[in-house]
Amino acid sequence: MSIKRKLPIYIGGLVTASLVVAGLISYNTSSNSLINASKDGLHTNTERTSVIIRNLEKSEEQMASIMANNKRLQDLVVMKEQTNDQQFYTSNNVLLGAVNNFLKDSFATTTNHDHFFVLDNKGTDIADSLPENERKSFADRDYFSKALQGQTAIGKMVISKTNGKPVIVIAVPVKDSQGKIVGVLGNSILADFFTSNIQGIKVGTNGKVYIMDRDSTILGHSQDKTWVNKKSQRTELLDAMKTLPNDNNVNVSTIDAGTGSDKSLVTFANIPGTNWVVFLEDKYSDIQSPVRSLMVETLLGLLCLAL
């Protein structure tokens, strides 16, 4: 083949090679830019989500505290200490009826809640927005013993004795006129209360948001509710969670999780005042998808030119 015929081929090959190299450099640059932008976006959204969940939980605490300061409710718990069951659980107990109505009316203003209830100092349900729960014992619940010691307690997720659904109970002490702790007010919240507030958070194309306690129990999931109340087996997340401070500040951290096509960018933060951690996760394959599609189109165009 003569030099006149080879020269255009050589030049075309060099131009094509240059364009391919330039395309690869552009791909890497664009890909890194997308990843950095995604990290910044996830960091901001994780911090914001932590604040939202904290505010939701804090508002539930405040509502329970206000209810626990209701004078009739306090008097009822004191009455329970001073009377036997036969005298207490009667239709003639006007105070019991009034407190049950108070709990029912309060419950009617909520969504995604289980029930409001009052426990005596032995953990027995003495008044409830669902009266059929009266006389049931909740003494085995972790929140009862903590609240009886004077703490506002957030219980571990449990299966409700009322409806069999996963719930989280916020419990506050009930005190008499002298400041003595005589019982506990319980605010039982369905897990859906928190899940419904993370479902609207968009993470890339197919990303997900989930809340986990530090015992690895999943409290809420934006994509799959069947994960709720199950233990996570993802050791990389559990190990990373151990390094996250749990104080009154929102602390955000980022890790890579998984391998290959399942490799993900995960940003997570503590939720102050709780032992909960919120996670936002997006696969690298989804993050890089726009620039990868553009790269494929570019290479196909170059191949057509070469042919």
Q: Give the position of tokens 């968009």.
A: 202
pTM exceeds cut of 0.85: no
220: tokens are: 């809420």
Least confident of 89-98, 104-113, 219-228: 219-228
Residue 190 has pLDDT above 80, yes or no: yes
pLDDT value of position 18? 52
pLDDT tens digits, 128-180: 999 889 999 999 999 999 999 999 999 988 888 778 888 999 999 999 999 99
Residue 217 has pLDDT above 90, yes or no: yes
pLDDT value of position 302? 47
* Full set of structural domains in the chain with CATH: 30-55+198-290 (3.30.450.20), 69-191 (3.30.450.20)
Across the range 299-307, mean pLDDT stands at 50
The C-alpha atoms of residue 251 and residue 231 are separated, in whole angstroms, by 23
The C-alpha atoms of residue 192 and residue 233 are separated, in whole angstroms, by 22
At residue 180, what is the residue type? K
Beta pairing partners, 276: 213
pLDDT value of position 27? 47
pLDDT value of position 276? 93
CB-CB contact of 130 with 100 (8 Å): no
Across the range 32-39, mean pLDDT stands at 66
CB-CB contact of 133 with 162 (8 Å): yes
pLDDT value of position 35? 61
CB-CB contact of 261 with 284 (8 Å): no
CA torsion angle 134 140 146 149 (round to 10): 70
Residue 117 has pLDDT above 70, yes or no: yes
Work out the angle at residue 89's Cα, subtended by the Cα atoms of residues 107 and 95, and round it to the nearest 5 degrees: 55
Strand, helix or coil for residue 19? helix
CB-CB contact of 165 with 190 (8 Å): yes
CB-CB contact of 114 with 189 (8 Å): yes
Element (H, E) at 51: helix 3-68
Beta pairing partners, 159: 166
Across the range 187-193, mean pLDDT stands at 90
**Residue-wise burial string across 128-165, b where 16 or more C-beta atoms lie within 10 A, e elsewhere:** bbbeebbeeebeebebbebbbeeebbbbebbebbbeee
pLDDT tens digits, 234-255: 999 999 999 999 888 999 999 9
Other Cβ atoms within 10 Å of 259 Cβ, number: 8
The better pLDDT of the pair 6, 57 is held by 57
* % of the chain at pLDDT higher than 70: 81
Kind of pairing between the strands at 252-257 and 218-221? unpaired
Most confident of 23-27, 73-77, 109-113: 73-77
Across the range 250-272, mean pLDDT stands at 92
Residue 13 has pLDDT above 60, yes or no: no
Residue 28 has pLDDT above 60, yes or no: no
Residue 112 has pLDDT above 70, yes or no: yes
Q: Sheet containing 218-221: give its strands across.
A: 218-221, 208-213, 276-283, 264-270, 252-257
pLDDT value of position 270? 95
Residue 33 has pLDDT above 80, yes or no: no
Backbone angles phi and psi of 183, in degrees to 5: -175, -165
51: tokens are: 């604040």
Residue 295 has pLDDT above 50, yes or no: no
